[in-house]
Amino acid sequence: MEGSDGVFPRAAGILLAVSSLPSPYGIGSFGKMAKEWIDFLEQAGQKYWQLLPLGVTSWGDSPYMSFSAFAINPYYIDLDALCDQGLLEKREIAALDWGRRPDSTDYALLYRNREIVLSRAFSRVRHALETNADFTHFCKKNSAWLRDFCLFMAIKKLHGGASWLEWERNARLRDAAALEQHEKDLAEAVQYHAFAQFLAFTQWKDIKSYANSKNISIIGDMPIYVAIDSADVWANGDLFQLDENRMPTRVAGCPPDAFAPKGQLWGNPLYNWEKAAETGFAWWISRIKENGALYDVVRIDHFRGFESYYSIPYGDQDASNGEWAPGPALAFVNAVKGAAINSIGASAGVAIIAEDLGYRTPEVAALLAASGYPGMKVLQFAFDSRENSDYMPYTYPRNCVVYTGTHDNTTTLDWFASARREDVDLAKDFLGVDDPVGGVWGFIRAALSSVADLAVIPMQDYLCLGAEARMNAPSTLGGNWRWRMSPDVLDGGFAGGKVALAKKIRRLAEVNGRL
């Protein structure tokens, strides 16, 4: 992956969440369609598949609000593979409701039904797990996070799914005797969650190996923050801004601006960076290395938060009373580099992309330059007719990754329908296009033809889909993270109609020097 001036050689990739893959079981999975998708990427001349986080989704269904910074969502386990292993029967899966819309994920159904079938598979293998060498090795290898996560999930279910902040004091404060008793009483539930993680990691390893065999690298997304209701905060309270009762004191968000007069209240607990520095940022380094084992490249979300972050008093109803506080900055970057995690490719550590979007100060730019990590450019941000934008393609350095849009943007087709008319006119003039569909392909060509070493296009844009295919609308509750690529969305079927589109995408990569 090493390029002449940065992390990447000149190449192209596609952004598509695993959850968005076609599947008969309510959500995309690590199954047959994932391999067909990788075959499509190969045919289309793509070198990278970028994902959204694979974590266990919690309230709000966001992959950026997970119960663990390390665990994989059991929703992605391929149920057909469990049938092939004799752990499930097809009729047991077919008896459950997985939703009636192939283009949308119903998380409520998944929450109710996935555990039913996975528990049934677990019951058929439980007594053999202790002598299963692969399972034993997995548990030992991941012991630094797996035990806490499995116990956290078991105690959470005991409390009806309530946040750990609402548990009885002894469990909430991790009293040793209380945890020992819970671990004894909930031994079967704890082992179930370990088994589910074993399946998820094993299946994902197979998918990643298949992609790598096709010369396709995986870009994984690592959120900077973790959810308050997570095993990470429960088990590592000293690393977060909590009081003596382990309640948050400050939480994350964004300051007020023209788009959000009261700011954005994300609600994630903030890090105790002084304590993290005392440990040499050990938890962070472990986390990045674990992500580096899952993926070939790690995109760190909200990189500007390492320079400074917006801090809001816990309990506030909005972000208007927040303030900026200094992050670990260069000390963090140097610690990561000192642990052989750097920006020059997986052969020398973990390749990193820094998501440097948002409120980008000179200090953030200086930290990014010092890190050597490629930053991000988003074309939908380029055409603000009110100012000279540094997202215009002619302003890019080579060491960056360009996107038409991200998971937080609407699709480019919808951008042409919903953006300010002056901005749309500017884009049409710049791209030399007249109509919205032509504008989508104009955005794609502008990204691919730019000097950016890597260009990543959301699959929704290659399909020229509208607002119905938007993945996330920030600061809105409900309806997000649901879009799936229907089996028939590619001109007559994923297996049959993909050839023409793959040829078109490949030709664009070829003529722009990205094969």
Catalytic site positions? 301, 355, 408
Determine the pLDDT at residue 289.
92
- The helix (run of H) or strand (run of E) holding residue 289 is helix 282-294
- The helix (run of H) or strand (run of E) holding residue 110 is helix 107-129
DSSP class of 237: G
Asked if residue 23 lies in contact with residue 31, where contact means CB atoms within 8 angstroms, the answer is yes
pLDDT band per the 50, 70, 90 thresholds, residue 193: very high
* Integer Cα distance of 352 and 345 in angstroms: 8
Domain residue spans of the chain = 375-490
Reduce the secondary structure of 170-233 to three states and give it as a string: HHHCCCHHHHHHHHHHCHHHHHHHHHHHHHHHHHHHHHHHHHHHCCCEEEEEECCCCCCCCHHH
287-299 pLDDT tens trace: 999 999 999 999 9
Instruction: Give the chain's length.
Output: 515
Residue 260 has a CB neighbour count (10 Å cut-off) of: 17
144-186 pLDDT tens trace: 999 999 999 999 999 999 999 999 999 999 999 999 999 999 9
92, pLDDT greater than 70: yes
What are 380's two structure tokens? 């939908």
486, pLDDT greater than 90: no
Determine the pLDDT at residue 343.
41
pLDDT band per the 50, 70, 90 thresholds, residue 5: low
pTM score of the predicted model: 0.95
Give the residue from 486, 480, 468 showing the smallest Cα distance to 22.
Answer: 486
Give the residue from 27, 64, 42, 25 showing the smallest Cα distance to 407.
Answer: 64
pLDDT band per the 50, 70, 90 thresholds, residue 286: very high
Q: Which residues of 323-336 are buried (b: 16+ CB within 10 A; e: fewer)?
A: eeeebbbeebbebb
pLDDT band per the 50, 70, 90 thresholds, residue 340: low
* Integer Cα distance of 126 and 128 in angstroms: 5
Q: Which residues make Cβ contacts (< 8 Å) with residue 85, sequence separation at least 6?
A: none
* Integer Cα distance of 264 and 120 in angstroms: 42
Give the residue from 500, 447, 498 showing the smallest Cα distance to 11.
Answer: 447
Query: Could you give the 3-state DSSP secondary structure of residue 333?
Result: helix
What are 383's two structure tokens? 């055409």
What are 227's two structure tokens? 């959810």
Amino acid found at 459:
M
Q: Is 472 exposed, middle or buried (0-12, 13-18, 19+ CB in 10 A)?
A: buried
Give the residue from 456, 461, 460 showing the smallest Cα distance to 482.
Answer: 460
Mean residue pLDDT of the chain comes to: 93
* Integer Cα distance of 75 and 348 in angstroms: 33
Query: Could you give the 3-state DSSP secondary structure of residue 235?
Result: helix
Cα-based distances in Å from 356 to 37, 209, 319, 442: 29, 30, 21, 24
334, pLDDT greater than 90: yes
Give the residue from 59, 60, 56 showing the smallest Cα distance to 477.
Answer: 60
20-37 pLDDT tens trace: 999 999 999 999 999 999
Which residue do the tokens 């699959």 mark? 459
458-485 pLDDT tens trace: 999 999 999 999 999 987 878 899 999 9
Asked if residue 382 lies in contact with residue 389, where contact means CB atoms within 8 angstroms, the answer is yes
State the average pLDDT over residues 241-255: 95
Asked if residue 297 lies in contact with residue 220, where contact means CB atoms within 8 angstroms, the answer is yes
pLDDT band per the 50, 70, 90 thresholds, residue 494: very low
